[in-house]
Amino acid sequence: MSGACPVDADALAGLEARVQRALAQGDVGDLTVIGFGEISSVLLLDAAAGRFACKRMPRFDGAERVARYGALLEEYLATLRGVGVTPVESWLMSVPEPDGARIVYVVQPFLDPAGLAPKKLAALPEGPGGEAAAAPIIDAIVAATARCVSSTVGLDAQLSNWVFVGDELRYLDVTTPLLTDAQGTTRLDTDLFLASLPALLRGLVKRFVLPDILARYHDRRRTLRDLVANLHKERLTRFVPAFLARSNQELDGPPLTAEECLEDYRSDAATWALLQRLRRWDRAWQRHVRRRPYPFLLPGHIAR
Ligand SMILES: Nc1ncnc2c1ncn2[C@@H]1O[C@H](COP(=O)(O)OP(=O)(O)O)[C@@H](O)[C@H]1O
Ligand SMILES: [Mg+2]
């Protein structure tokens, strides 16, 4: 993180107050939601210093936990740079709550959406001209993924996590620092990331689902398979052959196939859709039975 965050504490507290109002009302209110991720929600902040993408994380229960997360994030950003993947400039900020808890934001400059990898590919014409223009985009993403992913460093290579600033590729999804220790155990404070799940499910997901999700991002083949599979969700299947061919240059063993990727996409879509549905049920339960506001912004229907 390079120097002080250009967004000041008051501006961020103002954004958080708008989020709190939106949550209390049960709609997005006057917020501009740039992206609903599986973990964070990304909000636009128009500040004196410019426009910023503010990634709102689950609630942290104290300053010490925030500091530990901040150190891991910092190390992740440096590690990415070290393997030749440029992260989008990112700053950690937090808004204190009266009870000592913190609402954590990862703040980034708001980058031109036309540079987002899915948009860039979608804008290309059908046919050989479009294919030729896609080649350097595909090459940059697959090469960066292959350079980065190892047993100790992980990355979610899905198209929506990459953005071009001019011709330069940057990685924007840094809120989940995927680093492991020497034993191969994740260094992430995973409980934080499970917080948005219904309480009854957290233990099960932590034990049976999370280890496999995390392992995927440390395995080059599975990460690239996931990147190709995700082209179905992005409605960019016309680029599957080019992504497959380029990915297979980076892989040993049997080549990745289109069928394998489609199968991966189907099982993955089912898992995420189920989690999303469970969260919506939990929200309804919290609001209508427990009569308390639900603390996360949830996406509406996601086409998968
Ligand atoms: N700095 C940014 N500038 C512009 N758009 C962004 C920025 N960061 C995120 N987005 C948009 O929000 C989406 C989700 O952000 P991401 O960091 O990948 O969060 P998640 O971990 O929830 O997937 C991105 O795919 C992109 O469309
Ligand atoms: Mg993402």
pLDDT at 148: 97
- Residue 108 Rama label (left phi>0; alpha psi -120 to 50; beta): beta
Q: Which residue out of 32, 33, 42 has the highest number of ligand 1 atoms within 8 Å of its CB and is therefore the one to mutate?
A: 42
Q: Is there an atom of ligand 1 within 6 Å of 54 CB?
A: no
CA of 290 to the centre of ligand 2 (A): 31
Query: For ligand 1, atom 11, which residue shows the shortest CA distance?
Result: 35
Predicted local confidence at residue 303, as pLDDT: 57
Asked whether the beta carbons of 162 and 172 are under 8 A apart, the reply is yes
Regarding the beta carbon of 159 and ligand 1, being less than 6 Å apart is answered: no
CA of 111 to the centre of ligand 1 (A): 9
Q: Relative to the alpha carbon of 105, which ligand is closest?
A: 1
Predicted confidence at residue 194, as pLDDT, reads 82
Give residue 2's pLDDT. Answer: 61
Residues in the chain: 304
Residues 20-109, CATH architecture: 2-Layer Sandwich (3.30)
pTM: 0.90
Ligand 1, atom 12, residue with closest C-alpha: 35
Q: So where are the chain's domains?
A: 20-109, 113-289
Residue 1 confidence (pLDDT): 59
Q: How far is the CA of 108 from the centre of ligand 1 (A)?
A: 9
CB-CB contact of 155 with 85 (8 Å): yes
Residue 42 CB less than 6 A away from ligand 1? yes
CB of residue 111 inside a 6 A radius of ligand 1: yes
For 221, how many CA atoms within 13 A lie in the half-sphere containing its CB? 8
pLDDT one-digit tens code per residue, 62-99:
899 999 999 999 999 999 999 999 999 999 999 999 89
In Å, how far are 167, 204, 220, 266, 287 from 88, measured between CA atoms? 14, 33, 22, 30, 36
Q: Which residues, given as ranges, of the chain have pLDDT below 70? A: 1-2, 37-39, 284, 288-291, 295, 298-304
- Residue 244 is predicted with a pLDDT of 98
**Cα 165 to ligand 1 centre (Å):** 14
Could you tell me the distance, in angstroms and rounded to a whole number, from the CA of residue 258 to the centre of ligand 1?
Answer: 27
